[in-house]
Structure 1
Amino acid sequence: MSHTLTAISAAAPLAAGWTVHGLWQHRLIDRAERDELTGLPRRAAFEKSAARMLRRTRQGVVAVLVIDLDGFKKVNDVYGHAAGDTAIRETGRRLAQWAEPLGTVARLGGDEFAAVIHCADPETLRGELTHLQQWLCSTVTYDGLPLPLGASIGAYCHTPGLPIDLSVALRAADEAMYRAKQTGGGWAVTHALAPAYRTVNGRREGRSGTDIDAQGGGS
């Protein structure tokens, strides 16, 4: 018995060390997978969780979203990059809070974000998009000044159970977002995957770096 207790006592610090090492590694990986400014997942981590949602959801609808801020360049030019960072940070916070019970959200880069959410039906999805667009357009302040920002949202509405490639769905959502932005902002939903715009290197022509049902500026 004494030999057993001695062995356990000797192993305990080593086991504790491995536990601390494991937690440290986990934190490093988690930090690397998250955007430093917003704390949202980066593209790679988002693609993993989004693909799981698209693959496993069996009821309702799954929507793939692309969100782009309107007027962001003007904010940077007029108010400075610190104001732009404030706008991005606040947008990320709002998106994370909105998406938490529904799905997952990420910052793709610059002022562009993406999300995948689950809704009971298309009508519920339209209500969620209206709520999100209004919230993203509500005032963000920097140094006591309101920043002139809006948001354009595109969504591809997917029927669960059918095979779907996330990159294709993001392209469709990007085209819907672009259609909404071209008509003044708002949100737009598409059920079609076939590209409506010319493709350059697999992306919509003119994009930095996707039958439309629209509201608040969509066509």
Structure 2
Amino acid sequence: MASTMRVQTAIGQRALLITTLAVPLTGWTIHAVSLHRKLAAARKDPLTGLLGRDGYTVKARQNLARYGDSVLVVLVDLDHFKQINDGPGGHAAGDRVLAATATRLTAWAGSRSAAGRLGGDEFAAAVRIGPAHRELRLAQLTQLLAQPVQVEDGVLVDVAASIGAASPDVLGTTDLSVLQRAADAAMYAGKHTGRAVLADRSHAVVPSVNGRRAGRPGTHTLGRAA
């Protein structure tokens, strides 16, 4: 009987020791994961200085949670960008166009908005703009992004961008993935027309993969959409 009690006591002491050690380890694990997420969210695109995909997603969702129906989610895709990269100036010219686009988008969106580079020649912004001013502001963005970019001394490159936008009050949701999917579909609908397109509910049900219109870059990647 005494032997059995000693065994049980020893087992209980070991369990207590393991539990005692596990608690701080678990705490450090949670802290490490949280720190990693914060660092990822703060990381900026080295070429343009805009937020990367993770950072943009975090800030855009914060804006949607704070301002709701007053937020406009905008997607921008540069037209014929491959031709710029393949032109005389090569990738250096393409980089200057990307940097200029980022500067213009930031100036248009304002410091309190979320502006990011999703990858390649794709950009996004979540901006606080009321319904009465959306069409005017989108037209201003279209004109701003269509200005030629100087890629070398005395050398200008013509640029153009396709723009799609979506708003919570029109689509009935503040889900960023849904808004971006609709904005992406609206952008495609207005491709090469020289005008921005504001999504309606029909754009939100366009078939997609990973939150993006089928066939777009990134649709083969598994995981949560930005």
TM class, shorter-length: 0.7 to 0.9
Identify the residue that residue 195 of structure 2 maps to in structure 1.
Answer: 186
Which of structures 1 and 2 has the bigger CA Rg?
Answer: 2
How far apart are 1:155 and its partner, in Å? 0.2
Cα distance in 1, alignment partners of residues 136 and 112 from structure 2: 13
> Partner amino acid for 2:159?
L
Cα distance in 2, alignment partners of residues 158 and 43 from structure 1: 21
Q: How does 1:20-31 map to 2 (within 5 A)?
A: 29=39
Q: Aligned pair count?
A: 179
- Mapped contact 2:164–2:187 kept (Cα < 8 A): yes
Cα distance in 1, alignment partners of residues 137 and 55 from structure 2: 24
3-state DSSP of counterpart to 2:181 = helix
How far apart are 1:196 and its partner, in Å? 4.7
More strand by share: 1
Deviating 4+ runs (over 6 angstroms): none
1:31–1:125: structure 2 CA closer, same or farther, 3 Å change rule? closer
Question: 1:140-163: CA deviations, max 9, x gaps?
Answer: 011121112101100002229x64
Aligned-pair identity (%): 40
TM-score calculated relative to the size of structure 2: 0.72
Cα distance in 2, alignment partners of residues 199 and 119 from structure 1: 27
TM-score calculated relative to the size of structure 1: 0.74
Select the residue among 64, 85, 88 that pairs with 2:73: 64
- Mapped contact 1:33–1:41 kept (Cα < 8 A): yes
In the alignment, does 2:217 pair up with 1:208?
Answer: yes
Q: Which runs of 5+ in 2 are unaligned?
A: 1-34, 219-226
How far apart are 1:205 and its partner, in Å? 1.4
Question: 1:46-101: CA deviations, max 9, x gaps?
Answer: 1111111111115x621111100112111001130000000000100111111115
How far apart are 1:194 and its partner, in Å? 5.5
How far apart are 1:206 and its partner, in Å? 1.6
3-state DSSP of counterpart to 1:149 = coil
Cα distance in 1, alignment partners of residues 98 and 142 from structure 2: 15
Cα distance in 2, alignment partners of residues 50 and 93 from structure 1: 18
- Mapped contact 1:71–1:148 kept (Cα < 8 A): no
- Mapped contact 1:75–1:148 kept (Cα < 8 A): no
Cα distance in 2, alignment partners of residues 114 and 201 from structure 1: 17
How far apart are 1:120 and its partner, in Å? 2.5
3-state DSSP of counterpart to 1:49 = helix
1:73–1:171: structure 2 CA closer, same or farther, 3 Å change rule? same
Identify the residue that residue 96 of structure 1 maps to in structure 2.
Answer: 106
- Mapped contact 1:42–1:107 kept (Cα < 8 A): yes
3-state DSSP of counterpart to 2:201 = coil
- Mapped contact 1:67–1:151 kept (Cα < 8 A): yes
> Partner amino acid for 1:74?
Q
Identify the residue that residue 111 of structure 1 maps to in structure 2.
Answer: 121
